[in-house]
């Protein structure tokens, strides 16, 4: 009777062993993005994720991408009469000061892609990912906005 029982449970044991080995393997998925602060250099572009801060340590200037308020850019797989627009909200402050909230657009004029704050000019250079289809919904955590800060 022992051999019959072993013959019946052996495939189940092999399946459980295979599942255990698979579960112990390192994931092949990319690691989640880091939300660590980014070091800013004047006149150098830098990306920020939603919720992430960038700091110009030499002056105490800090930017934080709060949210992508809207993304109405024309999807790449659609023919549109206009390019559309996306709006991001950032907080910017100098050490010891309260944050100022700025709304920036990524689109050719008449929308502003540059904002002035104190002695700094902040440019929104790019917003990724770019939508592909009209029904694509991009989660907030997938957005990356690329900025550049310079002295005015």
Please write the tens of the pLDDT for every residue from 8-61. Answer: 555 554 444 443 434 433 344 444 456 788 999 999 999 999 999 999 998 999
What gap in Å lies between CA 30 and CA 121, rounded to an integer?
A: 34
Q: Residue 145: CA atoms inside 13 Å, Cβ hemisphere, count?
A: 31
Question: Residue 55's pLDDT is what?
Answer: 97
- Kindly state the percentage of the chain with pLDDT values over 70: 74
DSSP string for residues in 105-131: EESSTTS--EEEETTEEEEEEEEESPP
Number of helices (H), then strands (E), belonging to the chain: the values are 1, 9
Name all domains of the chain by residue range, CATH numbers in brackets: 38-151 (2.60.98)
Does position 93 have pLDDT exceeding 60, yes or no? yes
- Kindly state the percentage of the chain with pLDDT values over 90: 62
- Straight-line distance from the first to the last Cα atom of the chain, in angstroms, rounded to the nearest whole number: 87
Are 106 and 71 spatial neighbours (Cβ–Cβ below 8 Å)?
no
Residue where the block lists tokens 């990356």: 144
Please give the model's pTM, rounded to 2 decimal places.
0.74
């Amino acid at each position: 009777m022992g051999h019959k029982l072993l013959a019946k449970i052996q495939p189940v044991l092999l399946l459980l062993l295979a599942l255990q080995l698979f579960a112990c393997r390192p994931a092949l998925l990319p690691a989640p993005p880091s939300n660590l602060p980014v070091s800013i250099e004047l006149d150098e572009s830098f990306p920020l994720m939603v919720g992430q801060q960038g700091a110009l340590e030499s002056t105490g200037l800090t930017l934080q991408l709060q949210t992508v308020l809207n993304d109405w850019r024309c999807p790449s797989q659609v023919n549109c009469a206009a390019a559309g627009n996306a709006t991001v909200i950032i907080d910017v402050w100098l050490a010891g000061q309260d944050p100022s909230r700025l709304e920036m657009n990524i689109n050719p004029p008449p929308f502003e892609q540059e904002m002035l704050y104190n002695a700094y000019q902040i440019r929104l250079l790019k917003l990724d990912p770019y939508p592909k289809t009209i029904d694509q919904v991009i989660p907030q955590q997938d957005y990356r906005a690329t900025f550049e800060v310079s002295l005015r």
